Chains A and B, each alone.
Chain A
Amino acid sequence: MIEELIVSGRMNPEIDPHLHAWPWYVPTDLFLAALVAGILIFSAFLTLHGKENEFPAAVKRAPLFAPFLLGIALLLLFLDLSHKLYFWQLYTNIRWESPMSWGSWTYLFITPLSVLWAAIHIQDVFPNLDLKFSWLKESIEWLKTYKKVLAGIIILLAITLGMYTGILLSAFNARPLWNSAILGPLFLTSGLTTATAVVLLLKPNEKEERRFIVLMLIFAGIQIFLLIHMIMGYLAGTQVHIEAARLLLGGEYTTSFWVFAFGFGLVLPVVLQLLKLNGSKIPVTVPAVLIIVGGLLLRLIIVEAGQASRWLY
């Protein structure tokens, strides 16, 4: 076997000894964006199917959090910029080859739409809320007449946002652990799984709770399948992809990934929900919180481990 030992004189901050240009802000942003995408997809989809009153937690209550979560996500993105005062340059260019560019444009459109979507539902959730201004009440009433059109646009933008969180990473051929086409669907699915957890935390009615437990099981199952498929893809790939997979299979990130993100964050809540569906008295908050924390951990580990993966030379 030929071995190579490289001693480098380079010691650039955040680059050496291994890349750490994106700290926790970026994976947290990706988590929040995918979570909001999931919340808006469920709410808009059920609205299009006329099920607003059957699923009040998913359709009306959960979207009230979307603008705040998106606001935090955007704030984190802004904090991550190292040349902050120039952020407006994002909106003087449209770069189709750059996932970061179309991600920023998606944020620009979906953020105000999430505010409008929350405004439509705020009086359903807080019936005694006094909006004070008649023009505001009239505007919301007017918006409600276009609810289904808005729902259609929101679904398209939310799917784009959820996929973007994975494609942003998978477009980087330089980081073998990210360079998998599965990351886009994986992060979108993870966003939908965490969104079911948020709905379950918002006191759904009995029928809604049961439906969303089943949805959580379906999306968590797809997520488990995608994760295993992704790792199989690395192992069937080139040497750099095999080396990248080793970071999760015996390497530095093995315990955090398999025990915490996969075990406690995905498999355990699935088992708990299955027990609950079979009559066990398990508080719904336990699997829901585990799924949300697991979703965040998944992004933190994938972003961190991805930066540790590299081409060999």
Chain B
Amino acid sequence: MRYAMAIDTKKCVGCSDCVVACQTENNVPIGYCRDWVIEATTGTYPDLSLEFRSERCNHCSNAPCVRCCPTEASHVVNGGIVLVDHNECIGCKACIESCPYDARFVHPEGYVDKCTFCIHRVEKGENPACVNVCPTKCMYFGDTDDSNSEISKILKKRKWKTLIPEAGTDPNIYYLI
């Protein structure tokens, strides 16, 4: 099983509903975010293109944060979801330094925090909160090892990209382009 997320950049309008849903669902402290929206303008005037991307931890298959963690607090669970065990994290911040997506932060209680793909919902067969609330339904979540899953089908049908694949992290957030 390999959980992944696909985000349709043609449908995303950058409303940040996913950000608010995550903060509410996971009780993320004020001033912090586990997911965020970026607005990328590419090209040279007047030939410009605009892309909204909802970004978060990429739950990399080759996760540098897991490799560099000295205490195994950062670990991978079934389905490839990368988690941080709060009771094993010493707050050395090596994982923060190792993440090319800057997806981690120090929670005010001291441990390192990040997106969990809402594992508490996924274990019950539900989608992550961000996927559920998206008003344009631009986000797809599922198992890419299952060729019949919605995400597998859309990844076969559409063109996609991942962020900084050249960093060798093998990320699992796909952006449909």
Contact B43 A84 (CB under 8 A): no
Give the residue name and chain of the B residue nearest to A88 (CB): B90
Give the number of A-B contacts (CB < 8 Å).
154
A161 to chain B, nearest CB (A): 16
Asked if B106 and A14 make an inter-chain contact with CB atoms under 8 angstroms apart, the answer reads yes
- Which of B32-40, B119-127, B136-144 interfaces with chain A? B32-40
Contact B91 A84, beta carbon cutoff 8 Å: yes
Assign chain A's interface to a size class. Answer: 35 or more
> Is B146 among interface residues, defined by CB-CB distance under 8 A?
no
Residues of B contacting A129 in the complex (Cβ-Cβ under 8 angstroms) = none
B39 cross-chain contacts in A, Cβ below 8 A: 6-8
Give the B interface residue count (CB, 8 A): 49
Knowing A14-B106, A100-B70, say if A174 contacts B98 (CB, 8 Å): yes
Question: Does A83 sit within 8 A of B, measured CB to CB?
Answer: yes
Residues of A within 8 A of B112 (CB): 82
Query: Which residues of B approach A to under 8 Å, CB–CB?
Result: 16, 19, 31-33, 36-44, 55, 64, 67-73, 87-94, 96-100, 102, 104-106, 109-112, 163-164, 166-168
Known contacts: A14-B105, A21-B106, A175-B97. The answer to whether A92 contacts B168 by CB under 8 A is no
Report the bound CA distance from A298 to B96 in whole Å.
22
Q: Are B97 and A173 in contact (CB under 8 A)?
A: no
- Rounded to whole angstroms, the CA-CA distance of A22 and B96 in the bound complex is 10
Complex CA–CA separation, A302 to B69 (angstroms): 22
Whole-angstrom CA separation of A93 from B85 in the bound complex: 14
CA distance A236 to B163 in the complex (A): 24
Determine which of B67, B92, B110 lies in contact with A97 in the assembled complex, contact meaning CB atoms within 8 Å: B67
A86-B90, A95-B72 given; name 6 further pairs at CB < 8 Å.
A89-B89, A172-B64, A173-B64, A174-B97, A174-B98, A307-B97
Contacts of A145 in B (CB 8 A): none
* Contact (Cβ within 8 A) A174 B99: yes
Cβ of B34 to closest chain A Cβ, rounded Å: 9
Q: Which residues of the other chain, B, contact A8 by a CB distance below 8 angstroms?
A: 36-39
Q: Does A138 contact B (CB under 8 A)?
A: no
Q: A81: nearest residue on chain B (CB-CB)?
A: B91
Q: Does A218 contact B (CB under 8 A)?
A: no
Residue pair B94, A9 in contact (C-beta under 8 Å): no
* Inter-subunit contact A311/B164 (CB<8 Å): yes
Q: How far is the CA of A19 from the CA of B55 in the complex (A)?
A: 17
Q: What distance in Å separates the Cβ of B52 from its nearest Cβ neighbour in chain A?
A: 10
Question: When chains A and B are docked, how far (Å) is the Cα of A87 from the Cα of B92?
Answer: 9
Q: Are B70 and A3 closer than 8 Å at their CB atoms?
A: no
Q: What distance in Å separates the Cβ of B90 from its nearest Cβ neighbour in chain A?
A: 5
Q: A82: which B residues are within 8 A, CB to CB?
A: 91, 93, 106, 110-112
Cβ contact within 8 Å between A7 and B38: yes
